[in-house]
Amino acid sequence: MQNNVIGRLGALFAGSLVKQIMIGLVAGVALAWFSPDAALAVGLLGELFVRALKAVAPLLVLVLVISSIANHQQGQKTNIRPIIMLYLLSTFFAAVVAVIFSHLFPQTLSMNVGATQITPPSGIGEVLHGLLISMVSNPIEALINANYIGILVWALGLGLAFRHASPGSKAFLNDASSAATWVVRCVIRCAPLGIFGLVASILASTGFDAIWEYANLLTLLLGCMLIMALVINPMLVLLRIRRNPYPLVFTCLRESGVTAFFTRSSAANIPVNMALAKRLNLDEDTYSVSIPLGATISMAGASITITVLTLAAVHTLGISVDVPTAILLSLVASLCACGASGVAGGSLLLIPVACNMFGIPNDLAMQVVAVGFIIGVLQDSAETALNSSTDILFTAAVCQAEAERAPRRTVSE
């Protein structure tokens, strides 16, 4: 009997995270509707989930960035360079789109600010001053205080230093990165219970107006992602292939984006993109490198998520944002997106880095992360679909452009 119960629990824990989060979401709404007192009590589950995220996120960022830089390989085919440029431009433009539409349609969040004292920066000068001070923080202190700017700087420096280390040391960093990612996966597997507690307690304490708030936020996120997929990315492709980009765009969205929407993992969608690249007769030496690389640095969807949720927190707290600060936020969000981990909801864990720019404490930043998990059933699926379809789209655009230029060069010679 006991083994049977354990087996059922194990099967439940190993099931679809998306379905479990949806069940937790519905259960939280139902509990808040029928028993507000019980809903407030299960808020402990949400608090534990947020605290677990707060505990693991700083270490995850440090280890992932060190390992990624230390194990980076040089000397790749030159066609990779324009593809990487398109990846980075798309990620940056995604942040700019998110800033513009967050300004046009400002969002606010239900957050427990309490007695937290927040001193917002007065302008770009104070923001830069705070960033520079955070950059030279003691690494142990940066980890303890969740100073993500300091963590990123130390991770960058250590990663560059470890590039000259022995293969054994690099293998250890790889193992450490895998171990940290495994711990994060364990925490995120508890998301259904955390979401259940968060939704129930929030609705019981603030009322059902919060559902409308989440719907508006999700609409803004999905709208920005659609603009990137159907407007900005096609414009970037047009600059490369000099013809109507939409047949290629729709092929990539249909063949790659739809699959990625349900797998919710750019890494898991790599074989799908590889197969599509082969069917499109692309250069194998190029796509065998660019597609796995894109799963790491082509993160337009993550850039939108980080920017929109950060600005939602900024608007909630009444912090003003001038144009230079908005541009700096776009750059920071782009860098954060490129460092997003490969697990579901990985981009959410880097929101505190952007929040640090505005003096938002880690406690409040993690409440924003929790909101991201609440809407993550659709947000993370759409984000992954945009990220993964962009990988194959830009790879195909560059390969096709190079293939068309080759005969012209041959004739001219």
pLDDT tens digits, 299-337: 888 889 888 988 888 888 878 777 777 777 888 777 767
Question: What would the two tokens of residue 281 be?
Answer: 């007769």
Distance of alpha carbon 122 from alpha carbon 98, whole angstroms: 22
| Segments in 105-245 forming alpha helices (H) | 124-135, 139-144, 148-162, 167-189, 191-206, 209-227, 233-241
Alpha carbons within 13 angstroms on the beta-carbon side of residue 391 total 37
What separation in angstroms does the CA of 262 have from each of 167, 303, 338? 37, 20, 22
Instruction: Name, of 218-222, 261-265, 330-334, the range with top average pLDDT.
Output: 218-222
Q: Which residue has the higher pLDDT, 412 or 254?
A: 254
**Residue 114 has what pLDDT?**
52
Question: What would the two tokens of residue 378 be?
Answer: 């659709």
Position 359 pLDDT exceeds 80: no
Confidence of residue 156 (pLDDT cuts 50, 70, 90): confident
Average the pLDDT over 269-290 and give the result: 79
Position 134 pLDDT exceeds 80: no
Q: Which among 179, 163, 161 is positioned nearest to 64, based on CA atoms? A: 179
Q: Among 73-77, 153-157, 274-278, 343-347, whose mean pLDDT is lowest?
A: 73-77
Confidence of residue 242 (pLDDT cuts 50, 70, 90): confident
* Residue 281 CA, distance from chain mean position: 31
Distance of alpha carbon 28 from alpha carbon 30, whole angstroms: 5
What separation in angstroms does the CA of 100 have from each of 209, 220, 378? 25, 11, 22
Confidence of residue 374 (pLDDT cuts 50, 70, 90): confident
Helix (H, G, I), strand (E, B) or coil at 353: helix
With contact defined as beta carbons under 8 Å apart, do 353 and 152 qualify?
Answer: yes
Instruction: Name, of 191-195, 254-258, 346-350, 396-400, the range with top average pLDDT.
Output: 396-400
Which domains can be identified in the chain, with CATH numbers? Answer: 17-405 (1.10.3860)
Question: What would the two tokens of residue 411 be?
Answer: 């004739």
**Residue 214 has what pLDDT?**
77
**Residue 393 has what pLDDT?**
93
Average the pLDDT over 208-233 and give the result: 84
**Residue 411 has what pLDDT?**
46
**Residue 363 has what pLDDT?**
77
Question: What would the two tokens of residue 239 be?
Answer: 């600059």
**Residue 234 has what pLDDT?**
94
With contact defined as beta carbons under 8 Å apart, do 58 and 146 qualify?
Answer: yes
Position 341 pLDDT exceeds 60: no
**Residue 184 has what pLDDT?**
73
**Residue 407 has what pLDDT?**
59
Q: Among 127-131, 169-173, 243-247, whose mean pLDDT is lowest?
A: 127-131
Position 60 pLDDT exceeds 90: no
Average the pLDDT over 54-74 and give the result: 73
Distance of alpha carbon 230 from alpha carbon 134, whole angstroms: 38
Please state, rounded to an integer, the average pLDDT across all residues of the chain. Answer: 77
Confidence of residue 124 (pLDDT cuts 50, 70, 90): very low
| Segments in 14-147 forming alpha helices (H) | 17-34, 36-41, 43-70, 80-104, 124-135, 139-144
With contact defined as beta carbons under 8 Å apart, do 395 and 290 qualify?
Answer: yes
Position 54 pLDDT exceeds 50: yes
- Residue 346 DSSP class: G
Position 12 pLDDT exceeds 60: no
